[in-house]
Amino acid sequence: MKRPDWWRSDATAPFRLGPRMLPGRVWTASGCFGYGLAAHDFTAADCASPYAGLGAVVTKTVTPLPREGNPMPRLVETPCGALNSIGLENVGFDAFLTTVLPELEARGVPTIVSLAATTPEDFGPMVRRLHDAASGFRHWHGVELNLSCPNVAEGGHDFGSSPATVARCVAAARADLPDRALLAKLTPNTADIAQLAVAARDAGVDAVSAINTVVGLDVDLRTGQPYLPRRFGGYSGAAILPIALAKVDQIVRGTGVPVVGVGGIATVEDALKFFALGAVAVQVGTAQMRDPFAAARVAAALGQWSSS
Ligand SMILES: Cc1cc2nc3c(=O)[nH]c(=O)nc-3n(C[C@H](O)[C@H](O)[C@H](O)COP(=O)(O)O)c2cc1C
């Protein structure tokens, strides 16, 4: 598309996020590009690499212990998106720290580490170990707290739906993260997302990421049962773009908390809608699973305008 008259920014230039300079404003979203290591051999005629121009890869969420995730099937394609119930399958924090993060650093991948835990206090030790192990790393830029998982200590409801719990998670992480960006990823499955953003800011985040997936369900008409064994899943992709835009608008206009926009972005036009509302950066999720070059192409399109 033609560059809109209102667009003045340079989304491919480094920008400050809290204590850290990040290399750009187009990122990949957690869980949709693995740990950021699987696509280094990919090539395309119009794009040097799936990593070209990216401001950050947000890793798959890592938990204190390894997790196998939920039983299959756990990903269902819908006409306008995807419904997933992966259950946070990941290698666990120890393996991530000793093998994955050093490899990301060696490859020069700008990295935001996504973390989840079952109690707010679990975040402190993880962040401390991350800080100790990777304080010399040039490409590790920060941590995104995935606050959309069940909180065991509080009876299994989502961490992210209680402002007080959001604040405790952020405070536990911030104390040991003096020199990297700290983000809290917010759930849209709440009546007032702005309240969560305020709780996160007051406890010390540099930005919030909005949104995680929307609760959804789809039925397999052959069986009359939900496709997913756990019935509900997280809905993502093109269909949630207007939901994500609405949530981002509520946060920006209602609170002024810096927001990284996530939800339904596949093209430069989609990304521009978030920037128009005041997002400081954007993340590409589900689109990245269909086309690993999606985020890089968005960055390339914005970069062309910036230099023209
Ligand atoms: C298969 C899949 C796995 C995901 N895993 C994670 C995850 O581990 N941590 C997280 O914070 N978000 C996870 N998400 C949510 C995405 O990061 C993103 O917030 C959401 O999908 C909305 O963006 P999209 O519409 O561009 O996909 C996952 C999404 C999908 C589709």
How remote is the CA of residue 33 from the centroid of ligand 1, in Å? Answer: 10
Out of 32, 47, 80, 149, pick the active-site residue: 149
**Ligand 1 contact via 240 beta carbon (within 6 Å):** yes
User: 264 in ligand 1 pocket by Cβ < 6 Å?
Assistant: yes
pLDDT in tens, 129-175: 999 999 999 999 999 999 986 555 565 567 789 999 999 999 999 99
Does 32 contact ligand 1 (Cβ within 6 A)?
yes
pLDDT of the residue at 296: 98
Atom of ligand 1 nearest to the CA of 82: 31
Inter-residue contact 14 to 22 (CB < 8 Å):
yes
Q: pLDDT, tens digit, for every residue of 23-71? A: 999 999 999 999 999 999 999 999 999 999 999 999 999 999 999 999 9
Predicted local distance difference test score (pLDDT) of residue 156:
54
* Confidence at residue 159, expressed as pLDDT on a 0 to 100 scale: 76
**234 Cα to the center of ligand 1, angstroms:** 8
Cα-to-centroid distance, 94 and ligand 1 (Å): 22
User: How many of the other CB atoms lie within 10 Å of CB of 296?
Assistant: 26
Distance from C-alpha of 303 to C-alpha of 14, rounded to nearest angstrom: 12
Residue 102's H or E segment, with its range, is: helix 101-106
CATH numbers and ranges of domains, the chain? 15-70+88-217+235-307 (3.20.20.70)
Tens-digit pLDDT profile for residues 183-238:
999 999 999 999 999 999 999 999 999 999 999 999 999 999 999 998 999 999 99
Measured CA to CA, the distance from residue 225 to residue 246 in angstroms comes to: 32
Is the pLDDT reported for residue 76 higher than 90? yes
DSSP state, 148?
A: -
CA-nearest residue for atom 29, ligand 1, is 31
pTM: 0.97
| 47 assigned to active site | no
**Sequence-distant (≥ 6) Cβ neighbours of residue 77 within 8 angstroms:** none
CA–CA gap between residue 40 and residue 276 (Å, rounded): 32
253: CA distance to ligand 1 center in Å? 25
